[in-house]
Amino acid sequence: MKQKLFDAALNARANAYAPYSGYKVGAAVLSPTGEVFAGCNVENEVYPLGQCAERVAIQALVASGETRFEALILVTENGATPCGACRQVMAEFGAPKSVVYIANKDGVIRETSVGELLPDAFSRE
């Protein structure tokens, strides 16, 4: 399954719209039903309106009618980790133990979890 997620994120990364930063990112999430949803970063001339790949993938998951993910993979040029906003969105739709793979274009370089990336996530509780 990790390879399927990696392939989906790598393919999405190729479609990233990054004319301002030149930094292409792809992500994919695995739903509890086994479906994979991918996303890429989509920049905007007005920088705050851009979307990170992780959030685009999670939004695709939600648009399909699902509200949870079991695993997420992030593929960047150098294996960067998710930004703070993405970590909070991951906490909303994942669980603390949901797996997060960090990868570069050659493959996974780190395995972590939503809870490890954001140990004190804001929640309704």
Class of domain 2-117: alpha beta
pLDDT for residue 119: 95
pLDDT for residue 123: 84
pTM: 0.95
Between residues 124 and 43, which one has the greater pLDDT? 43
Report d(CA 54, CA 86) in Å as an integer: 6
Residues with a known catalytic role = 54
Token pair for 104: 């570069």
pLDDT for residue 42: 98
Residues contacting residue 83 through CB under 8 Å, at least 6 positions apart? 52
Encode pLDDT of 85-95 as tens digits: 999 999 999 99
- Sign (positive/negative) of CA torsion 84, 64, 98, 56? negative
Helix (H, G, I), strand (E, B) or coil at 121: coil
H or E element in which residue 28 lies: strand 26-30
